[in-house]
Amino acid sequence: MNGLITKAIIPIAGLATRFLPLSKAISKELLPVGTKPMLQYALEELKAAGVNTIIFVVGQNKKMVSDFLRRAPQLEKILEEKKYEDLLSEFKALEKLLEGMSFSFVSAPPLGDGHAILQARKLIGEETCFVAFPDDIIQSKSPCTEQLAQIFKTSQKSVVALSRVPKDRISAYGVVAAEKIATRFWKIQKIVEKPEIQSAPSDLAVVGRYVITPEVFDYLKKAKPNKKGEIVLGEVLGEMLKEGKMIYGYEFEGAWWECGDRAKWLRSHLALSLQHPLLGPQLQKFLKEEKFISS
């Protein structure tokens, strides 16, 4: 437990156009990755980091997400009666995960992640909080958000999760120019959104986990929409840096599984499915038999 940060914002108000037509009928965050919905990984990480209050910023997907978070005693009873032990175990694990957690919903149009985060300010109050994007799944011994919280504990400044990416993929990310302070610990100097390979300031990409202080909300409030009509968190943090504000980056320890588009989601779904203790060996056997992979 970090003992300091107990609230988190999960922004899921986007249109998920990269997942159409799937996202026409289902919230992207409820798509499976392995045997769990994408969203569940974020909830597990946040609870393990000491979070007990989560504010969802939603669009049209509010009902689907709230249904997922609601207890379902009748369904549990059916699983018990039919003796579906494995399914019952996973179901109860979800129920236990949700115990002691408070969920709120704020509606917002798809006007950028920064705009979405700003809509949660009243419920956050003047507190420092986490921001977690469910389409970034992070597997680690210590929750990624907890790792960021440890940096905040000593710095009392906003903290951005960082991860190294191959140079040929760098133009797909927000990338930082940063000064190294200690192992994995960086003082961010600039954030460049989707730079060309030759002009990228580093190979450190911004990942969807943040600690944000109340000061960030002040900057989000006065930010003007960009050319796309959006307020983007990374761009607003960049403006803060230009004005001399301190923002730190932490190169977290753990594996990063991306689900931001269909190709990344399918790769992550396959990888985490192969990790499942029961289904993984069956899937691996199938891939070998069908010659998708060599023995």
On whether residue 259 sits in a domain, the answer given is yes
| Contact between 138 and 42 (Cβ < 8 Å) | no
Any idea what the CATH number is for the domain that residue 28 is in? 3.90.550.10
On whether residue 101 sits in a domain, the answer given is yes
On whether residue 150 sits in a domain, the answer given is yes
User: Using one digit for the tens of pLDDT, what is the confidence trace for 228-246?
Assistant: 999 999 999 999 999 999 9
How many domains in the chain? 1
On whether residue 20 sits in a domain, the answer given is yes
- Bridge-based pairing state of the strands 32-33 and 36-37: antiparallel
Q: Cα(111)–Cα(114) distance, rounded to whole angstroms?
A: 8
pLDDT category of residue 72 using cuts at 50, 70 and 90: confident
On whether residue 67 sits in a domain, the answer given is yes
Mean of pLDDT over the chain: 92
User: Using one digit for the tens of pLDDT, what is the confidence trace for 251-261?
Assistant: 999 999 999 99
CB within 8 Å of 198: residues ≥ 6 apart: none
How is 194-229 classified by DSSP, letter by letter?
S--GGG-S-SEEEEEEEEE-HHHHHHHHHPPP-TTS
pLDDT category of residue 105 using cuts at 50, 70 and 90: very high
- Identify the H or E element spanning 14: none
On whether residue 151 sits in a domain, the answer given is yes
Domain range holding 177? Answer: 7-289
Decide if pLDDT at 223 tops 80. yes
Q: Amino acid letter at 81?
A: E
On whether residue 79 sits in a domain, the answer given is yes
Axis crossing angle, helix 38-48 with helix 144-155, rounded to the nearest 10: 40
On whether residue 295 sits in a domain, the answer given is no
